[in-house]
Amino acid sequence: MNRIPPTGARQDTGLRLLADIGGTNARFALARQGKPPHAAHLLRTKEYRGPAEAIAAYLRLKARVRLPTAGAIAVAGPIQGDAVSFTNAPWKFSIRDLRRETGIAALAVLNDFEALAWALPAFGRADVLKFGQGRPVKGAPLVALGPGTGLGVGCFLPGADFALATEAGHISLAAGNPREASVIAVLAQRFGHVSAERVVSGPGLRYVYEALAAIDGAPPFDADAIGVAAVTGRARTGEDPLAVETVRMFSSLFGSFAGDMALAYGARGGVYIGAGVIPRLGPMFDRRAFRRRFTDKGRFHGWLARIPTYLVVHPQQTMVGLAQYLDRQDAPTRRTGS
């Protein structure tokens, strides 16, 4: 393994390492107190044996002889104790060991949507795209959520200046009409528990398509070819009615789930959709269907209608959150599994 710190490295007490690590890519950047992230670089997860090796490679490229003294890493999954495992990558690491190997003693590890939640109060108008009606209530909670490989949810509490990591994507999915109930029933036979992220995620597009095909007795298809690109491509051209219905149902169920999260966290400060599947859907994401189901909560329709929803378009949204987290910590190791 490459040694960290590299030979001749000197510590830079104002420099911080930021990392957003997923199953496919490990994104890195550097930041200083109160300054935006810079020196962004992407590495392929599979090309390294673990985070220490990837960090070493990044620092050789960008920091050279400077060694950060603090840092924060965002990972997709819950942080429990010292051991961290990746759901969609073979990496496993000990937080304590990683601090020792990197030489970064004040190294924190956060859930990825906890990190995004930290970014929400820092976003300006150019960083988000508002859709639907509503105005944010100052000081009220803000929710960050978004479908990717899974379905992440985080919440920022302005009064406490605190971001909350959640595993809300694993709550049971509720149907809004008989057609959705039929899809959930098919998926329950296949998977048992049908969580929200089983449907509202990248893989969920395939599962919904397959369930609709089974319900309608559609001709067999190549299951391996059915993914986000295939479903959206067929929906975009209109050549495949099931694909069109899949994307519409996805948008509706996502809206229903987002409305549930707004109710659960009292998110009158706004609901923010992070990067993941939605940018890949582009105009195929049905914002009207999303908002319709977002507010379709009976007696709380009017309450939800006043909550704004946003698409986050900032290209380094997680890095902004990590930098904000470090800016606010008197002791950046607060959430490091110590």
Same domain (yes/no): 290, 148:
yes
Same domain (yes/no): 265, 202:
yes
Q: Using 50, 70 and 90 to split pLDDT, how confident is the model at 334? A: very low
Q: Is residue 5 part of a domain?
A: no
Same domain (yes/no): 140, 240:
yes
Same domain (yes/no): 153, 218:
yes
Q: Is residue 335 part of a domain?
A: no
CATH classification of the domain holding 69:
3.30.420.40
pLDDT, residue 333, reads 45
Same domain (yes/no): 167, 265:
yes
Instruction: Please tell me the pTM assigned to this model.
Output: 0.90
Q: Is residue 22 part of a domain?
A: yes
CATH classification of the domain holding 204:
3.40.367.20
Task: Report how many domains make up the chain.
Answer: 2
- Helix ranges, 8-50 (H): none
Q: Is the pLDDT of residue 227 over 80?
A: no
Q: Is residue 246 part of a domain?
A: yes
Same domain (yes/no): 52, 91:
yes
**pLDDT tens-place string over residues 229-279:** 888 888 888 889 999 999 999 999 999 999 999 999 999 999 999 988 998
Dist. CA 244–CA 228, nearest whole Å: 12
Same domain (yes/no): 178, 302:
yes
The average pLDDT across 41-51 equals 91
Same domain (yes/no): 64, 177:
no
Same domain (yes/no): 98, 238:
no
Same domain (yes/no): 137, 59:
no
Same domain (yes/no): 194, 278:
yes
pLDDT, residue 215, reads 96
Query: Which residues constitute the domain of residue 204?
Result: 124-313
Q: Is residue 334 part of a domain?
A: no
Q: Write the DSSP string, 211-267.
A: HHHHHHTPPP--GGG-SHHHHHHHHHHT--HHHHHHHHHHHHHHHHHHHHHHHHHT-
Q: Using 50, 70 and 90 to split pLDDT, how confident is the model at 335? A: very low
Question: Which positions ≥6 away from 172 have C-beta within 8 Å?
Answer: 193, 194, 195, 196
Q: Is residue 56 part of a domain?
A: yes
pLDDT, residue 87, reads 65
Q: Is the pLDDT of residue 1 over 50?
A: no
Tell which phi-psi region holds residue 252, choosing left (phi > 0), alpha (psi between -120 and 50) or beta. alpha
Q: Is residue 176 part of a domain?
A: yes
Distances (CA, A) of 202 to 1, 32, 51, 173: 34, 34, 25, 16
Dist. CA 49–CA 184, nearest whole Å: 38
Q: Is residue 116 part of a domain?
A: no
Mean pLDDT score of the chain, rounded to an integer?
Answer: 89
Same domain (yes/no): 146, 254:
yes
